[in-house]
Amino acid sequence: MFTHLIARLVQQGFPEYSLLVILLVPVVTTLVSLFRYVVGWRSLSIYTTILMVFALFQLAQTPQGTDIFSGTIQGLIFMSSIFAVGFPLHSFSKDIRLHYVSRISIIITLSTMAILTAAILIIQTGVTLFNPNAPLSLVILVMTMDVFIKNYIRKPSTKTLIYFAQTIGVAYVVFVLISFKTVQQSILTYPEIILATLVLNFIIGRWQLLRLTEYFRFKSINIKDTHDTQHDSTSA
């Protein structure tokens, strides 16, 4: 039934790329959940991570397909430019008496100017990296980076920075995974795969074992004997 529905959409001229993106949404959410509960990479927000994944994915689109290198480099350049402007502005604006929305609007405006400056520099270098058909991706990056910066300003700590790094790390890993042509073709050919994500999410949702990162974290703990030697000696 589901496969028939997808086939009918294609027959009626529904764009293949749009269909791919829609089908990728449950796959991406499942991967983010997998990294959170099985791998142990904790992100600030599932919504922020998902938006970052698709922003990178859109930036990587070329007439020949998905260019992982292009999406990775562009994401790093644009996020770096936003951070370089956003962090100082958020810090300095705390001492200025402005309404909250007006303050955020000023910061977003200047962050947008930073993105445009970065885009100009990329184009002037002669390197074909910038995807002119992905303006919404840049808007998403501005919004997500603003969330990161505001969280750090409110709760400055090493743990918050670790969460930032893990959020970006999860977004990049998931972006790379969904960028492989084999993955995209499999999802378009067998769209019922997204139904399997329901089962996988149920399994992940009931995960009770140690996360992979916790095995490395607690690797120094080596329990050779399950008996309590102190209790045994006392009882003896």
Report the chain's C-alpha Rg in angstroms.
22
Q: Is 70 helix (H, G, I), strand (E, B) or coil?
A: helix
Q: Among 17, 10, 18, 30, which Cα is nearest to 193's?
A: 30
Q: Among 75, 71, 77, 40, which Cα is nearest to 178's?
A: 71
For residues 37-50, average pLDDT? 85
Residue 30 binned pLDDT confidence (cut-offs 50, 70, 90): very high
Would you say residue 210 has pLDDT above 80? no
Taken in order 160, 216, 72, 18, the sign of the CA dihedral is: negative
Q: Among 51, 70, 38, 64, which Cα is nearest to 176's?
A: 70
Would you say residue 234 has pLDDT above 50? no
For residue 231, the model assigns a pLDDT of 45
pLDDT in tens, 108-146: 888 888 888 888 877 777 666 666 667 888 888 888 877
For residue 129, the model assigns a pLDDT of 61
C-alpha neighbours within 13 Å on the C-beta side of residue 119: 14
Q: Is 61 helix (H, G, I), strand (E, B) or coil?
A: strand
Would you say residue 225 has pLDDT above 60? no
Structure-token match 């885009």, residue found: 119
Q: How far apart are CA 94 and CA 52, in angstroms?
A: 27
**Mean pLDDT of the residues in the chain:** 81
For residues 144-164, average pLDDT? 77
Q: Averaging pLDDT over each range in 50-59, 121-130, 145-154, which range is the top one?
A: 50-59
| Alpha-helical regions (H) of the chain | 2-11, 16-34, 46-59, 68-93, 100-124, 135-154, 158-179, 181-189, 193-205, 212-217, 229-235
